[in-house]
């Protein structure tokens, strides 16, 4: 049994200059390296959490420090994990710098699957998680530009669409899947949600079987428009297909074709990993930065 870790930085347009391209690649490589350090002394869960923490801290992606804002101008984040038949998730949290750490606490230390909102933030404080620094300058500029257009009397639909397209050009949800040498699989996702979403909106990332899923057969995580991923139970279906000995690439192709036919292109992307250590990353957007590392030590970064 070989250990494998794969990560993604979100499906979207990803209109990048040279510097952004380098930052994205560096963040993915750092996440893979840090996650694989955990493999030597820990489990697939340790690998996934360590990798996502790096992506949350990078500020490059729409998760953790780089999270976007909702329509009120506030950050509201989601995260979820699956491992050994258990799941832990948080939604609509504002306090923790790393929502993935709070999701792990829910998985390992409580009897629940999802904890939401203010109560989750209180829990994050109680267990000593680091506080979020607030929206980045880039996010605030996007939000303020949108508000200016509204005050000018421009129609809501037009600036919302332009703002959303601008955000999608920069990145989306982050996620990771891993298998350790014992054959145990894990999956995790973290996001700041859709730019200018309605406050209180919950996407796919904290929902088991939508944004993330793992069992003894495989693991998968999603990125894209959360409502569409929720409506198709995407990652559950991908992993169920792998349980029928369908290769990860074929399993993802099937659900991605369903989403594309129902909702159109530029809507979703996935990474998936099966119990044999086979990995796949597919998307119907312009790009989806993703990569993987195995115990052979080689890192591959794709999809930028």
- The span from the CA of 78 to the CA of 67, in Å, is 10
Residue 202 is assigned to a ligand binding site:
yes
Residue 110 is assigned to a ligand binding site:
no
The distance in angstroms from the start CA to the end CA of the chain is 30
Sort strands 218-224 and 114-116 into parallel, antiparallel or unpaired.
unpaired
Residue 204 is assigned to a ligand binding site:
yes
Per annotation, catalytic residue among 173, 184, 232, 267: 173
Q: Which residue has the tokens 């050009």?
A: 169
DSSP 96: B
Q: Which two structure tokens, joined as six digits, stand for 191?
A: 């996001």
Sort strands 77-83 and 299-302 into parallel, antiparallel or unpaired.
unpaired
CA separation, residue 221 to residues 141, 156, 158 (Å): 30, 32, 31
Task: With beta carbons less than 8 A apart as the criterion, state whether 6 and 36 touch.
Answer: no
Task: With beta carbons less than 8 A apart as the criterion, state whether 223 and 94 touch.
Answer: no
Residue 91 is assigned to a ligand binding site:
no
For the question of residue 298 being annotated catalytic, the response is no
Residue 226 is assigned to a ligand binding site:
yes
Residue 223 is assigned to a ligand binding site:
yes
Helical residues (DSSP H) of the chain, grouped into ranges: 18-41, 44-58, 99-109, 117-126, 137-151, 157-168, 226-232, 234-243, 248-263
Catalytic positions, please? Answer: 173
**Known binding positions for substrate:** 201-204, 223-226
Binding residue ranges: 201-204, 223-226
């Amino acid at each position: 049994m070989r250990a494998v870790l794969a990560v993604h930085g979100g499906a979207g347009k990803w209109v990048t200059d040279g510097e952004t391209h380098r930052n994205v690649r560096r963040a993915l490589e750092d996440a893979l390296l840090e996650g694989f350090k955990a493999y030597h002394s820990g489990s697939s869960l340790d690998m996934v959490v360590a990798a996502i923490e790096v992506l949350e801290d990078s500020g490059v992606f729409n998760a953790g420090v780089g999270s976007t804002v909702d329509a009120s101008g506030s950050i509201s984040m989601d995260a979820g994990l699956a491992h050994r038949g258990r799941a832990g998730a948080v939604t609509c949290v504002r306090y923790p710098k790393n929502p993935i750490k709070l999701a792990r606490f829910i998985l390992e230390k409580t009897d629940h699957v999802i904890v939401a909102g203010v109560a989750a933030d209180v829990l994050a404080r109680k267990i000593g998680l680091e506080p979020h620094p607030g929206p980045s300058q880039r996010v605030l500029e996007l939000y303020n530009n949108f508000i200016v257009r509204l005050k000018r009397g421009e129609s809501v639909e037009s600036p919302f669409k332009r703002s959303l397209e601008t955000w999608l050009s920069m990145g989306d949800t982050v996620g990771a899947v891993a298998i350790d040498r014992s054959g145990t699989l894990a999956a995790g996702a973290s996001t700041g949600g859709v730019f200018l979403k309605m406050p209180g909106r919950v996407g796919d990332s904290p929902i088991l079987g939508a944004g993330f899923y793992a069992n003894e057969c495989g693991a998968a995580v999603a990125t894209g428009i959360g409502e569409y991923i929720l409506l198709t139970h995407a990652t559950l279906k991908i992993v169920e297909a792998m349980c029928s000995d369908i290769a990860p690439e074929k399993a993802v192709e099937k659900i991605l074709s369903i989403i594309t036919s129902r909702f159109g292109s530029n809507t979703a992307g996935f990474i998936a990993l099966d119990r044999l250590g086979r990995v796949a990353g597919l998307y119907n957007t312009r790009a989806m930065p993703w990569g993987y590392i195995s115990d052979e030590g080689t890192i591959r970064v794709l999809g930028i």
